[in-house]
Structure 1
Amino acid sequence: PDSVYWLGSAKHSNEQAYMFRKFAAYWGTNNVDHQARICHSTTVAGVANTWGYGAMTNSYNDIHNSKAIFIIGGNPAEAHPVSLLHLLKAKEQNNAPIIVCDPRFTRTAAHADEYVRFRPGSDVALVWGILWHIFENGWEDKEFIRTRVWGMDQIQEEVRKWNPEEVERVTGAPGEQLERVARTMANNRPGTVIWCMGGTQHSNGNNNTRAYCILQLALGNMGTSGGGTNIFRGHCNVQGATDLGVLSHTLPGYYGLSAGAWAHWARVWEEDGDWLKGQFDVIKDAAGKDKSLQNLTGIPVSRWIDGVLEDPDNMDNPDKVRAMVLWGHAPNSQTRLKEMKTAMEQLDMLVVVDPYPTVSAILHDRTDGVYLLPACTQFETRGSVTASNRSFQWRDKVVDPLFESLPDHVIMAKFLNKFGWADRFFRNIEMDDPETPNVESVTREFNRGMWTIGYTGQSPERIKMHMENQHTFDRTTLQAIGGPADGDYYGLPWPSWGSADMKHPGTPNLYDLSKRVSEGGLTFRARFGVERDGDNMLAEGVYSKDSDIQDGYPEFTMQMLIDLGWDNELTAAERSVIDGIAGVKTNWKTDLSGGIQRVAIAHECAPFGNAKARAVVWTFPDPVPVHREPLYTNRRDLVEDYPTYEDRKFYRLPTMYASIQKQDFSKEYPMILTSGRLVEYEGGADESRSNPWLAELQQDMFVEINTRDANNLGVRDGAQVWVEGPEGAKVKVMAMVTERVGEGVAFMPFHFGGHLEGVDLRDKYPDGADPFVLGESSNTAQTYGYDSVTQMQETKATLCKIWTA
């Protein structure tokens, strides 16, 4: 089973994403993933390991309440244009200063009160430079840190090293400017921090995202309206597909892959756990003992090509990847496209499930073994999706499926019938017909299992009721004022605790102590134990409004209910379910009755406990975030001081770090290459480049080059140039000579495809299926490099050389 790779999609509805991950489980593999790996995996890992949940803490609308807006690694004006309206509202009504930190002067930077240009790949150094001024001047929120943060003393020790001179040496940002930024953030609280893929797509991306979180913890900007970390996601359901576990390292709801996690989902599915385990292969561990692949993280999508090309003796995979199923994924959104071409040609079979052929149809030179299954668009099916702020919406079908296309969940059902697992898979899911699962019934199944993140209160009926009564919700608070949804927050942003019958209103802003838990308040999650090295990890003297436990406390278990004398509040039915799971060891996230959550919330306690946020993550390669130079760096003077990691194996594959960085590519490839979005296109853009109105607006792939660099290279604006990366792959694009980028930096958008190293591949598309606009993919020239925790690809800081074509 591990020789087949199942690559899912952020375009799936929640129900389809859930079915896809369950499908992989029944197939018997964790070689399943989707786009989130290459956009925000370092966010989810960094944020979840700081305070408990890996998601946006507030909302776009809540930015109306911000007194300062700090944007790093994001360009909302072009990448999330609607969000800019919310930012500008805060700027207008609160006089909120906007600070933009970016290697490029973007359209967002044009709205900024303070624009900070810094060197790509030096985010941690930049944030520590800002924190240096905050700590130096005593501007940190000392009481917030004392009561709600663990490990800030270790952060301060690291930050002391980053005086203004060292920060400018590494980042290029002047010390006096960062002092101004620090003062602005300190004087205008609460402020919000916004980031996107500019901060995540690095080989130390998890360090970046944790540094952003720590900045907010130091300022006391967490758990408050107008503050928080507003993490902007991309595709329409990338948040939902992430939550539903279309990932190689977890089951739905971030339960992980432990034996306990599988036992939980087997109970939800009413499946034989031994049968499920038997679907997975077994390999030998280092000691020669059998190890089930059921509990081993799969190959991430960022590395699937290595699953094909790597020597099997170097992998923790029984065989090479021999078949690839790309189900709603743009391959040109990934790096190393020349190697991907080779990998596609070595596969036994390539299956593309998509409304569009995508670059998958033309990148390779295959003449057989490639199958295109036409899938519907979102307008031809129905189901729920989850927005960046964790809120649900229900999409109704607009038209019936066109031509021979089918909804994704119907295609999955057809596969399940062929493989003979349909009866087991749909045991508790109603069917509209033998090959059409009832979408609402699928929603109810994941409602029964996703207690960890409160995906349990959002029944189809409640979600649809919110959609029908959108006019009753306040546009800033997102709370309904009267009407059938009175008091609810729009879309029931998770966690919506307990069952739908509890009518929890959703949680608008995570970790907000000013509200009752039953009304959307929350503490920091007690996910990391109650003490560390003798230090208390629980909150000290702070708690959610009207909590019956007025101090920190661990996560709730049946034993804890007994100890508190609250177990007599369980119903007989709830107690029976709890006894059947693990008795007194049953906890809030494995109790299928919901009784433990119900009783905890009746006492205004958070089911997951009340702890301190963790500024130091002892389980990560860098417990305290540190600056590390990109693998391909032209600052050889910094490599000794700030080296990358040693090579190591994880996610089943050997991963190179130091062995690449020790090579000096900077003489031949002197310029930094970074990438980003355009407002006209989305993702790999097969869909949006096939739209004539959008295609007319952006017709050519290009590279932005600073005026001085262009003049030194003899490159004129509008000329065709070659851009070559240090691994030898090159692209032929139009030059845009501009001051947007600084000297020594080049920028390319990542939305194009259909050309490969100067060759137009339009003739290879199926008749009538080629997009209006084709062009080189920036990722052809992008290079090897993966985050040390999540295997996120490094696309924001590599090297290149440019010359006239």
Structure 2
Amino acid sequence: MINVTIDGKAVEVEEGTTILQAAEKVGVKIPTLCYIKELDPEASCRMCMVEIEGMPKLVTACSFPCADGNVIYTKSDRVIEARRGVLDLMLSNHPQKCFSCVKNGECKFQDLCYEYGIKETTLPGEMIEKPIDDTNPFFTFNPNLCILCHRCVNTCQKITGRGAIGTSQRGFRSVISTPFGTDWYDSNCESCGNCVQACPTGALVMKRREHYRPWEVKKVLTTCPHCATGCRYYLVVKDNKIVDVEAAEGASNRGLVCVKGRSGSFDFVHSGDRVKYPLIKNKETGKFERATWDEALDLVASKFMEIKKKYGSNALAGFACSRSPNEDIYMMQKLVRCCFGTNNVDNCARVCHSASVAGLAMTLGSGAMTNTIYDITHDVDVIMLVGSNPEEAHPVVGMQIRQAVQKGTKLIVVDPRDIDLAKHADIHLKLRPGTNVAFANGIMNVIISEGLVDKKFVEERTEGYEKLAEICKDYTPEKVAEICHLNADDIRKAALMYAKAEKAPIIYCLGVTEHSTGTEGVMSMSNIAMMVGKLGKEGCGVNPLRGQNNVQGACDMGALPTDFPGYQKIKTEGVVEKFEKAWNTQLSHEVGMTATEVFPAAIEGKVKGLYIYGEDPIVTDPDTHHVIKALTSLDFFVMNELFITETAQYADVILPGVSYAEKEGTFSNTERRVQRVRKAVELEGEMRLDTDIFIDLMNRMGYPQPHLTSAEIMDEIASLTPSFTGISHARLDALDEEEIKKSIQWPCPEKDHPGTPIMHVGKFTRGLGWFYPAEYIPSQEQPDDDYPIILMTGRILYHYTTRAMTGRTPGLMQIAGHSFIEMNTKDAEKLGVKNGDKVKVSSRRGEIQSTARVSDKVSPGESWMPFHFPDGNANWLTNAALDKYARIPEYKVCAIKIEKA
């Protein structure tokens, strides 16, 4: 430690601390323009110059380290004059049009000129007018207002890791530019807007800034409604309308957001096609007609109770919405259990990550991500990324992985496609779709044969090792290479790289889970980590990136046919009785049907009534014909929705709820982090809080449910769910007030418990970790002469699931508005298909048309499609074959044929 004095204030700091950091410690403010806290200082703007007693020259506080005994002055006459000179130079090449600039009142350069009394430059010269680039749908770049602080460049290159912009030319002609000076729209920019938020002037501005000024708005801190990264941001509200988004310093996003979060998270809230009144379908005309709330709720309650009386409780089912808050989901599953009298309740995790819930629960005792996003993307030696494309599906996690790779972390990508991260990988195992278990067993074969098993960890903390080790003997790298279409040496290199690293997390996503052997795939990830003792430690673990914003919370809240809230099993002695006592009613003791079992049961006539809250299975579930047949087989079908979606069109009643921006609550992100959602606007219409809709229905169906606020519902959750005991709205609000980065990860078993960042420290939740003896089983549908190509499905950066939200943002539709199918070059040549051609794609279940994207991104005999687009939804083709444990569909492998249209 060393001692320095800054403006008369003594401070003790660690050796190596910069003057700027030391000044912050004692509350001395030093102005900066180019400085970004997370990065090594650039020291290019020179605004932070300070004077050190005894030194002839001024130094930059952001980069200059303190020395013991330094006496530092940050506001001496010499310092003030130097800063004035810096601002004068910048202003000499900066148009003084502050009044008309959209950043007026929120421009750091303007603020500093005002503070230091610089009204005009003393160095007038020839200003070179540079062309404005407004080709990006969301923001404009005006180089004439740029002060070359490089905050945008450093943000793009070193924080988001995209590298879409740099500095070109020299002197007064220097300009921030895309590679080769292409238009911003045609560059590799992701439109995330993080560079815009970093800009201290009006050089980079969101186009929507034209419609408001900073003094006209309020900011509401909330959580993003898209993927499960759980990014924190502020909704910027003017006159009861959301006009912008600003990233906040959340624990999972660290001040970053993606294009969907910044630009695709509020247009849908104010969309003109919102359902604003209860609708009842006229059976004669087939059209929806406006109804009163009493008419709609009376009809729904009476019809469901009529079905229950006539056919029994198990003839009813309900699906919860994984994009809605925890409190909504809790009340939905309570309605199904207390009023329908059945455990036929589920959520969309069933078709994406139920394999993670089931698999990790069986092997480790808890079906959730073991570590934090920050922990597995910062200061780690190796990342093994399996069946995950986070740059598109979880973009802010992808940004943090790119950061890690830039800083020296080694990357192993295990994916059938050449995803962008594969370009930066040390090893890319481009395996055949559906062969994850064989790959994992091959990795463990090498670990065992090379003597890299953590024997102490295995002996003290696990069981079942011997049986798995015996199985793995047969999975030599050569055999696995043949199954997976890989190089045996690459398998060896990947195994050694992962096993020998001190800190090496496994990160996986739907490429592991969405298979008929998805649960075995998940347990195989767990097997690998346990074998080398990489669980319960920093920078390690098994980490599923959950899909939707609250799909983790939907499972946590008991929207599962097997579990009550907090994964309290129906079949565990005393659990049902516990909830019967708390809810003061009799409950079913039978495990319910999963969502993927409800649809065939509806076709068979076993399920007669269905209540879906905010899901769109016609778009998201496999074999669309099958889903439509199930919905049309029902006697009565109700939806809570914001829009008349493709699924809602088949409903008998639509009950209009409200969006995340119109309610209070919490989301649980992929790392088990429980974060607040806050009401920002209140719209015209008769839409109601979804929790109030459920409560009114419960009372109409004979269950006396008191009306509760969202905070009161969370208190009830905490009273019944051991992992949530210490969580409340009041506590989360207090943490946000104190520091936005602070939040709580369950399990949080006491009211003063800090939460649990890393699971399974010292002991697994189930006691001993279990090595599941997984054998490779091929996917249920293989290519043949009639359907010779494997189809995989997934997400793209610019849209989320059904596009119900992102599809209502014009800029996103401009960038990506149509279906496509990725084909291999050799397959395209055989079929006479060229890039951009229209093609007909068919499977045993249906056919669609799409546009060919021809490249070597996928291997010969393989193809890939997104499922977002109605002009070619891949789920008309996909196979509803189910995993034996989690009943998850096999989205990632089905057989198709492609023909030129």
The alignment's TM-score, normalised by the length of structure 2, stands at 0.64
Q: CA deviation at 1:407?
A: 1.6
Give the corresponding residue for 1:398. 680
Give the corresponding residue for 2:715. 444
List per-residue Cα deviations over 1:112-156 (Å, max 9, x = no partner).
221110110000101111111111111121221121121112111
State how far apart, in whole Å, the 2-side matches of 1:30 and 1:361 are.
23
Q: How does 1:231-246 map to 2 (within 5 A)?
A: 231-246=544-559
Q: Does 1:302 align with 2:596?
A: yes
Give the corresponding residue for 1:290. none
Counterpart residue type for residue 776 of structure 2: H
List per-residue Cα deviations over 1:281-319 (Å, max 9, x = no partner).
xxxxxxxxxxxxx22222211233201113xxxxxxxx5
State how far apart, in whole Å, the 1-side matches of 2:840 and 2:639 are.
31
Give the corresponding residue for 1:352. 639
Greater relative contact order structure (CA < 8 Å, 6+ sep): 1
Q: Secondary structure at the match of 2:596?
A: helix
Q: Does the Cα contact within 8 Å between 2:331 and 2:695 map onto a contact in 1?
A: no
Give the corresponding residue for 1:777. 873
Give the corresponding residue for 1:740. 857
Give the corresponding residue for 1:34. 347
Give the corresponding residue for 1:374. 656
Q: Does the Cα contact within 8 Å between 1:126 and 1:173 map onto a contact in 2?
A: no
Q: How does 1:383-782 map to 2 (within 5 A)?
A: 383-421=665-703, 423=704, 425-426=705-706, 431=707, 437-451=708-722, 454-471=723-740, 473=741, 490-498=742-750, 500=751, 503-513=752-762, 523-525=763-765, 527=766, 611-616=767-772, 624-634=773-783, 666-727=784-845, 729-753=846-870, 775-782=871-878
List per-residue Cα deviations over 1:48-74 (Å, max 9, x = no partner).
111111100001111213211001111
Counterpart residue type for residue 91 of structure 1: V
Give the corresponding residue for 1:78. 392
Q: Does 1:111 align with 2:424?
A: yes
Q: Secondary structure at the match of 2:818?
A: coil
Q: Does the Cα contact within 8 Å between 2:675 and 2:744 map onto a contact in 1?
A: no
Give the corresponding residue for 1:340. 627
Q: How does 1:139-154 map to 2 (within 5 A)?
A: 139-154=452-467
State how far apart, in whole Å, the 2-side matches of 1:402 and 1:18 are.
27
List per-residue Cα deviations over 1:345-386 (Å, max 9, x = no partner).
222222221112221145x6xxxx632222110000001111
Counterpart residue type for residue 51 of structure 1: L
Give the corresponding residue for 1:102. 415
Q: CA deviation at 1:405?
A: 1.5
Q: How does 1:783-798 map to 2 (within 5 A)?
A: 783-798=879-894
Q: CA deviation at 1:743?
A: 0.4
Question: 1:14 aligned to 315, 322, 326, which one?
Answer: 326
Q: Secondary structure at the match of 1:784?
A: strand
Question: 2:504 aligned to 191, 201, 216, which one?
Answer: 191
State how far apart, in whole Å, the 2-side matches of 1:420 and 1:144 are.
54
Q: Does the Cα contact within 8 Å between 1:673 and 1:797 map onto a contact in 2?
A: yes
State how far apart, in whole Å, the 2-side matches of 1:333 and 1:305 are.
13
Q: Does the Cα contact within 8 Å between 1:393 and 1:464 map onto a contact in 2?
A: no
Q: CA deviation at 1:268?
A: 2.7
Question: 1:267 aligned to 570, 573, 581, which one?
Answer: 581
State how far apart, in whole Å, the 2-side matches of 1:174 and 1:128 are.
15
State how far apart, in whole Å, the 2-side matches of 1:402 and 1:140 are.
62
State how far apart, in whole Å, the 2-side matches of 1:325 and 1:22 are.
13
Q: Does the Cα contact within 8 Å between 1:401 and 1:407 map onto a contact in 2?
A: no
Give the corresponding residue for 1:173. 486
Change (3 A) 1:740 1:154: same
Matched length: 585
Q: Secondary structure at the match of 1:144?
A: helix
Root-mean-square deviation (Å): 1.5
Counterpart residue type for residue 415 of structure 2: D
Structure 2, unaligned runs of 5 or more: 1-312
Q: Does the Cα contact within 8 Å between 1:352 and 1:373 map onto a contact in 2?
A: yes
Q: Does the Cα contact within 8 Å between 1:12 and 1:408 map onto a contact in 2?
A: no
Change (3 A) 1:717 1:189: same
State how far apart, in whole Å, the 1-side matches of 2:699 and 2:421 are.
50
Counterpart residue type for residue 505 of structure 2: T
Q: Secondary structure at the match of 2:653?
A: strand
State how far apart, in whole Å, the 1-side matches of 2:331 and 2:743 are.
22
Q: CA deviation at 1:691?
A: 1.7
Structure 1, unaligned runs of 5 or more: 278-293, 311-318, 432-436, 474-489, 514-522, 528-610, 617-623, 635-665, 754-774
Pick the structure with greater CA Rg. 2
Question: 1:330 aligned to 593, 606, 616, which one?
Answer: 616
State how far apart, in whole Å, the 1-side matches of 2:758 and 2:648 are.
43
Give the corresponding residue for 1:583. none
List per-residue Cα deviations over 1:312-350 (Å, max 9, x = no partner).
xxxxxxx52222222110211101101222222222222
Q: Secondary structure at the match of 2:879?
A: coil
State how far apart, in whole Å, the 2-side matches of 1:714 and 1:350 are.
46
Q: Secondary structure at the match of 1:359?
A: coil
Q: Does the Cα contact within 8 Å between 1:67 and 1:90 map onto a contact in 2?
A: no
Q: Secondary structure at the match of 1:155?
A: helix
Q: Does the Cα contact within 8 Å between 1:631 and 1:785 map onto a contact in 2?
A: yes
Q: Does 1:804 align with 2:895?
A: no
Q: Does the Cα contact within 8 Å between 1:149 and 1:615 map onto a contact in 2?
A: yes
Give the corresponding residue for 1:133. 446
Q: Does the Cα contact within 8 Å between 1:393 and 1:467 map onto a contact in 2?
A: no
Counterpart residue type for residue 728 of structure 2: S
Q: Secondary structure at the match of 1:295?
A: coil
State how far apart, in whole Å, the 2-side matches of 1:686 and 1:5 are.
24
State how far apart, in whole Å, the 1-side matches of 2:421 and 2:685 are.
41
Q: Does 1:123 align with 2:279?
A: no
State how far apart, in whole Å, the 1-side matches of 2:547 and 2:737 are.
25
Q: CA deviation at 1:798?
A: 1.3
State how far apart, in whole Å, the 1-side matches of 2:611 and 2:727 are.
31
Give the corresponding residue for 1:287. none
Counterpart residue type for residue 315 of structure 2: S
Q: CA deviation at 1:402?
A: 3.9
Q: Does the Cα contact within 8 Å between 1:381 and 1:401 map onto a contact in 2?
A: no
Q: Does the Cα contact within 8 Å between 2:317 and 2:610 map onto a contact in 1?
A: yes
Q: Does the Cα contact within 8 Å between 1:458 and 1:492 map onto a contact in 2?
A: yes
State how far apart, in whole Å, the 1-side matches of 2:639 and 2:675 are.
28
Q: CA deviation at 1:401?
A: 4.2
The alignment's TM-score, normalised by the length of structure 1, stands at 0.71
Q: Secondary structure at the match of 1:802?
A: strand
Q: Does the Cα contact within 8 Å between 2:353 and 2:547 map onto a contact in 1?
A: no
Q: Does the Cα contact within 8 Å between 2:607 and 2:634 map onto a contact in 1?
A: yes
